[in-house]
Amino acid sequence: MSEENLQAVRSMFDALGTGDFLAPLKHLDPAIEMDTTRSPLEGLSGVTRGQEEVLGFWAEWLEAWGEQELAEPELIDAGDRVVAWVETHRLQGRGSGVEVGLPPYGWVITFRDGKAVSATMYMDRAEVLEAAGLEA
């Protein structure tokens, strides 16, 4: 199941890069919980629950941005969890043209029965690895 989980996370990041928010729907549990409370970015901090709310969150947040450069995340298999670490993510304001570089960040995405049931964002590599039960 681990390879399938890694593939699901790749698909989710591809969707972020292309804006195709329906693509990852098949990988999300209907009751998924996304925790971005550790994010230092305005408008990107909170807890979102359910497929519709999570997809709506990303669609709304990314609507403000035009072009973006999203490096392929480093994916680490942690059993029923996948760690996704992103070193480079740059966005350009759709209206303003202002470029914003996000600090490196990571996710711990937990799967149950082939579906992502939770996704928690971290801003520190050691913390994200520890949260997944891995050593830094």
pLDDT digits over 76-88, tens only?
Answer: 999 999 999 999 8
82 domain residue, yes or no: yes
What pLDDT, in 10s, does the model give residues 20-57? 767 778 899 999 999 999 988 777 789 999 999 998 88
Look up the CATH number of the domain holding residue 100: 3.10.450.50
Q: What confidence tier does 15 reach under pLDDT thresholds 50, 70, 90?
A: confident
Please spell the DSSP secondary structure of 73-134, one letter per residue.
PEEEEETTEEEEEES-EEEEETTT--EEEEPPEEEEEEEETTEEEEEEEES-HHHHHHHTT-
136 domain residue, yes or no: no
Sign of CA dihedral 80, 47, 52, 96: negative
The count of structural domains within the chain is: 1
Q: φ, ψ for residue 126 (rounded to 5)?
A: -60, -40
For 93, other C-beta atoms within 10 Å of its C-beta total 13
135 domain residue, yes or no: no
Domain that holds residue 46: 2-130
List the one residue out of 7, 27, 41 whose CA is nearest residue 113: 27
122 domain residue, yes or no: yes
125 domain residue, yes or no: yes
Q: What confidence tier does 1 reach under pLDDT thresholds 50, 70, 90?
A: low
